[in-house]
Structure 1
Amino acid sequence: MNFLFVHQNMPGQYRELVQWLAATGEHRIVFLTQRQKPPKFEGVQTVIYKPHHKPKTDAYGLSKVWEEATGAGFAAAIAARKLDVEHGFKPDIVIGHVGWGELTFFKQVWPDVPIIGFFEYYYRLYGGPVNFDPEEPVNEHTPFLLQARNATPLANLPVIDRGLSPTYWQRDCFPEEFHDKIYVCHDGVRTDQLTPDAGASLTLGRLDWPITRDDEIVTYMARNLERMRGFHQFMRALPGILEARPNARVLVIGGNEVSYGAKSKQPGGLRAEMEAEVGDRVDWDRVHFLGQVPFESYKSIIRLSRCHIYLTMPFVLSWSLLESMSMGATIVAADVAPVREAMTHGKTGLLVDFFDPDALAAQVIEVLERPQEFAHLGKAARDHVVREYDFLTKCLPRHLEEINALVPEEKRIVLP
């Protein structure tokens, strides 16, 4: 079968699916992306395109996102037509993310080619990150900006033949008229590769010895250290944790940029802002900011963690939560709807109020004091992820079922 994947930041949600399809050796796979240095997957042809147009920095706010989406969508369509005309490639199916407009004009290129579109998030005035944190107040223009921001998924609903959302919470953020067209299935977690490891160790530049599971390690991870992922609440919990546990060390993974929401006004970003707020109440010698680390290092860090903290506003569920569960971590997480879909308090993890750093600290301290009493949570968390989110046994069959429903019978993929 001929597959065309489309995602501005290859591979996005398709890391496992693309590699599995390529490994069969039975398909021609092209990946269309804006990413200038995308990862190289054997058996996958990467095509890089540049947006046809980008809005100016001071472009009109209500149309700026749509202007950028149409610029990306038109360029992607031109690149697709070039694949057809110049290289003789016509896909049997197109699979891509609708959020940046890349799929918007694909039916102008191939009216008869089915499209599965990834519907990640629909912005709402209530029930998501907007209007959630009092420290990030909205203004009278917010409802208009959110509605305008949703123009892209609204325009893509009639374009795609089938939609996909990774969780029910994300699907249900969209208007009800979307729901019948969107199936729910996570990207999938390679639980066969993300396993617990009692022998995990890591060498830190500041220490003369490797840390292991014998050490009292607390971990926090986010792509970037930002409010959307509760970094400010995590930092407010640190003084209590470190005071109560004098042997604890805290390992923090994440960059200092902003993926979601507004930037901190403090020079040095939110990290600098929060360091100034908690000040000398934290023993900084025991806090290690590691930045964005290689995937193998990240796995070692989670595997040796005695207590892993996952915080988020009600928003897109991070891959790291399910990955940490798969590696058997004892997790203290924010008690918000998307997390509750994946984790049950007292059974597969521990949930705390996002806005109560004292409660967060108390729960982490309890885990550090009596780790054996909470060890069953990590095993149960892994069992749950294996059962509900495993790529090979759960998610892959579901995705192939949806793909097969849109292509001719002779093209359908049969699992070995």
Structure 2
Amino acid sequence: MKPTTLVEFVRDTYQTDKFIPLHAPTFSGNEKAYVNETIASTFVSSVGKFVDEFEQKIEAYTGSAKAVATMNGTAALHAALYMAGVERGDLVITQALTFVATCNALYHMGAEPIFVDVSPVSLGLCPKAVDTYLGEYAELTEQGCVHKKTRQRIRAVVPMHTFGHPVELDELVAVCLKWQLVLVEDAAESLGSFYKGKHTGTLGDYSAISFNGNKVITTGGGGMVLCRTKEQGARTKHVTTTAKVPHPFEFYHDEPGFNYRMPNLNAALGCAQMEVLEAYLVKKRVLAEQYAVLFAGSEYSFVREPEYAQSNYWLNAIICPNKSSRDQLLEQTNAAGVMTRPIWQLMHRLPMFQNALRGDLTHSEFIEAHLVNIPSTPVEIVKK
């Protein structure tokens, strides 16, 4: 199959000769009405009815005990790691095949990543690889899980549900129990994805969702911390609201906190987007199926959801035969005004993480050299 075939399919699907982005926000409901209501109320900052309503909608949809809205996904992950007990000098196991925000949150906490390989099925952190790494390099002590060489505490495991495809959560939970580690899910990309009937982000102790402009639904900028218990949620909300103790007029803060709360203006957009989320997910699955048919029998392999999961197909992806064919596809599609993108460079290739501890990354390196993301915005009509 030639790159021009993909260009023709995408243009036919989106019915336009203009530039086609990878994933654009779609506004088809009450977004303007709710945002205008927020402006009229003057409550456009971190206090207002839409913040509470948005949190409740996410709780109801995901089944989380408590959801806490934040200003972006990185802030949500930072808060989740803080609540999980990650401290300066700790080690945290995560994947090298991820967006840099995963590691930025660790860096700004003074924690350090350990990069472990991903599964070729989920594209996310592989539980067998995690257990193998720990068996070789870690030991359990009175202080918990400790790295044999550095003697640093290994505190948490952070899988990322790559492009919305859920990782093997049961197996990761078991590994975390075995090694006394906290599971924090980076669910930034996976709103609307389910693992064995449970929404991603609800099996870990904490998780983080993103509502950036390129996600399945958007609040412009925004994130959400999902908490396992209401008690954890109450403390997370307290910490992310500058740890201010409620009082009619006094300003008293009982611990260091973050000013991470989502503005009411953004939450209004989110509430409207939640009303159309299910429709978006249906359209995205239809588009994914059309891509699967397009690439069937070709030298390109379409990335399907794992058998144990239902993915939101946030970003559709294909695996190219080799790096040269990947580069050719990227060059020709982008030159034709159809946005395609390679996956992120592996984190240990970036200067700030080049000295990080890591295990074997065979699958991560293969995916890095072969994967291309293709346009994934949900559309009203997809050509049959």
TM range (shorter): under 0.3
Scaled by the length of structure 1, the TM-score of the pair is: 0.22
When normalised by structure 2's length, the TM-score is 0.24
